[in-house]
Structure 1
Amino acid sequence: MTNHYRNTISIVYHLLFCISITSSSPPSLIRQFSDDFNTNLQQEEGAEPNTIIEEAHYLHRPQEISSRDYKVSASSAVTGLRHSRPSTYSLKIESFNTLLNAERYESRPFPVGEYNWTLVVYPNGNKKDKGSGYLSLYVTIDKSTLVDAHQEVYTDLRFYIFNKNERQYLTIQDTDVWRFDVFKTMWGFSKVLPVDTFKDTKNGYLYDGDHCEFGVDVTIPSPFKMSELFSITEKLDNPRFTWTIRGFSMLFKEYYYSDVFSIGGRSWNIKVYPSGYHTGEGKDLSMYLSLNMNEKLRPNEKIYVRAKLRVLNQRQFDNKETQVNYWYFTPGAACGLHEFISLSDLKDSSKGFLVNDVLMVQAVMEVISSTKYSPS
């Protein structure tokens, strides 16, 4: 009886304990775990909680970007001298040494595209960008001219420093474009020139006492609207065309065309002058590969062709051939030789080119180009 009483008391005690647990708010328990976990994660990453949003969402502090923080190598910077002045903005300073007491100088805003920009000079270097002891040059974009928080502006920048000794501008630019957005509003170079080099009047950057000139070109490249794709076809279907000319001795016209043949998506003819043309007139056979007159070419379109022209030997001796490498710009254009084969060799029956008054000529197309234009 006593044992039964003790067991009953134990069961009641456990039931009361379970009821007390289930009476606690499940969201409260889950929320506490989530908050503790995210708070620890947030503290590890150095972020601060967003007090506007209760459910443990956090915002990271935006950092001001200057020189390329994602490039380790400085090899992408290109320097040089040029006579041309800055095309976007020029900044002339008549008292540079006095400016050394200031951290930086900012020009007035100037427009490029739909945005406002500012040229920034650090006379002693931008220490936050590891530029201490150097002259630092940057460009900033006005955030208010960006349409939305996700907008990105890709820009080419070229910075200028006038050198009076050379009567030219020292320029520095990057081989890549710079990406500006609301979080990255300042880009440039932290180490343009050592300050000591710049201040030494013997070097020509400071002149007429304490004068100097800086400048910048800000260019916003626009996506191309026109393009072309040039390709070469080397494996052509049925690349060979043979023209059998019967009664050669009875040909009295100045020139003759073969039937039209199509290779590489274009129409062609072989053109023959039986008694020669130009320097071959009266002594040689002249032969050419001609783009058919009915071919349609777009303005400025051209076709590159590599082919062989042959006079076939009908007695198993060597053929007479020449290589054709030519750009065709207009329908009817032709390429070949004025002096393809001498008429004396051609008419010598022992040499096998003209047999029973039959002449066989051939074109073998090796390469034909094509170009696709956009817009077409």
Structure 2
Amino acid sequence: MKIGLFSRLKSVDRYESTEFKAGGYKWKLVVFPNGNKKLGVDDHISLYLEMCGDKGIDPRHIVTINYKFFLLNRQRKNYLVVEHANKKAKKYCIHQTIIGGLAGFDRFIPLEDFSNASNGYLIDDTCEIGVEVYVSKMKREGAGQLRKFVNLKTVAYKHVWMVPNFSKLYAGFTQKNKSKTEFLCSKPFTAGDQKYCIWRLMLYPKGLDSAKGSGYVSLFLQLFEPNTHLPTRSKVLAEVTIRILDQIHGKHYYCQGEDWFSDPNWNYSSLHFISQEDIAGLLRMIVA
């Protein structure tokens, strides 16, 4: 993909190449010339590969790809080549229900390095970007493998939930006031551009189930309205770290693990996450 007058893209969020074929499917390159703002990137160019076209994937198969990106150095007549260090772990998995997920790099190259003409990438306001795609098709085996997968790409994402006036919140959740809700929910949030997975945190200041009345706070991560947002019978595998930040001493409380998410039940939780005594002053929660 050759881009001329690159400076004109300062007012453009997203720029796409024409479609091309690889492995029997159609693809395109997607460039965020000023960084992917939705992911908080503003000092790098973001570059992705996107599946497109109307051709679906046979439900009996899973398609995975390995890919690498190229940025032409027009002075040295060679390429800057970027690919994931651990290609096996970073394979991009695609199912017929998902067309349009982005696989690539949120921080492909620093804008400062790219814009400096002496580096050879942007000369006469023109650059050239390429991609190499290896497509693999695997057949599902056995009834247990016929579940649909949603795994658009490996996403590292953090969401911060500020909980103000926690002491008043705690005092309001009393055993005498049965009409008072005993938990607090964060606003629903997505992990990057994966709109098929919407999440929320749920906080029980006085604990839940076995932790109730034990002096501990319970904390849960939950898929929000999965029947609305996820394709039918889909599952999402997520690695989760939940932290409550110690804003004074830096001694954060956290739990982490891996779980499958598919319904609104508690898929990842910690009943005895932190004692009610220790949580005083720790009012910022982060899920990654």
**How does the TM-score come out when normalised to structure 2?**
0.43
